[in-house]
Amino acid sequence: MRLGLRRGEFHLLYQPQMSADGKRIVAVEALARWRHPELGSVGPIDFVGVAEREGMIAPLGEFLLRQACHDGKGWPEVAVSVNLSGLQLSSADFPDVVKSIAAEQGFALDRLELEITESAVADNFDRVTGNMAALRAAGVRFALDDYGLGRARPEDLRRLPLDKVKIDKSVVAEIESERSTSIIRGLLALAREIGLKVSAEGVETEAQHAFLRECGCNIMQGYLFSRPVEAQAISGLLAQEPQ
């Protein structure tokens, strides 16, 4: 992995996040890939855990954040969202690392969004929320990922310094079930009350889009709009948008 990082085998794809009507790209999410010389394209599910165990997540995370800021400079009209591992978020120097990478790349911190999971926070609550507060004071926004999948509860949304919550694709996939409907409606009511934006991932069908839009979901992401694509393709999609 260390060698792969040095050889430039890691890169990012970007998936558009759309306005509620599905017409405009408002942000892009950076999703990591490893072009492995023998295994071909390896997804993050298969290497993020390894990177964490082998002490590689800090250098890998920094490399990916630098790449996202670099690519994002070419898309001044949209925000760039980057996924974090809990290990990154709980390291004492994380706010300074983010600020210095963004400054070095000339990327404004108010266009950067960081996606975290509940488990990332649970392991080291005070340190993580302290780092989040420091970065938010500098303009960075935070989204809670995978809502409805894991352990995140409504109370977590009240006690964490967040700007947005993302409904997990497993909830969207079962949107016709009573469980999903009640998660989505409950979340949107709470989000309205405490001033959080809500986005949905894994939107694959018109019916899912229509339901989420009707419930008041602000941002839509999924194969219905676009798969994760290379940076160049994002530039192309943005160029095609009506001004």
Positions in 41-100 near Ca ion (CB under 5 A): 83
Distances from the Cα of 86 to the Cα of 21, 24, 196, 237, angstroms: 33, 31, 22, 32
Instruction: Quote the least distance from Cβ 191 to Ca ion, whole Å.
Output: 17
Among 71, 113, 118, 168, binds Ca ion (CB under 5 A): 168
Residue-wise DSSP of 138-178: TT-EEEEEEETTSS--HHHHHHS--SEEEE-HHHHHTTTSH
Contact with Ca ion (CB under 5 A) among 71, 113, 118, 145: 145
3-state secondary structure of 124: coil
Query: For binding to ligand C2E (CB under 6 A), which residues are involved?
Result: 15, 31-32, 43-45, 48, 64, 83-85, 115, 145-146, 169, 201-204, 222-223, 228
Q: What, of Ca ion, ligand C2E, none, does residue 163 touch, CB below 5 to 8 Å by kind? A: none
The DSSP secondary-structure symbol of 136 reads H
List the single partner that 165 binds among ligand C2E, Ca ion, none, CB under 5 to 8 Å by kind: none
Smaller CB separation from Ca ion, 100 or 177: 177
Burial 171-200 (b: 16+ CB within 10 A, else e): bbbebeeeebeebbeebbebbeeeebebbb
Residue 48 interacts, among ligand C2E, Ca ion, none and using kind-specific CB cut-offs from 5 to 8 Å, with: ligand C2E
Contacting residues toward Ca ion, per CB under 5 A: 83, 115, 145-146, 168
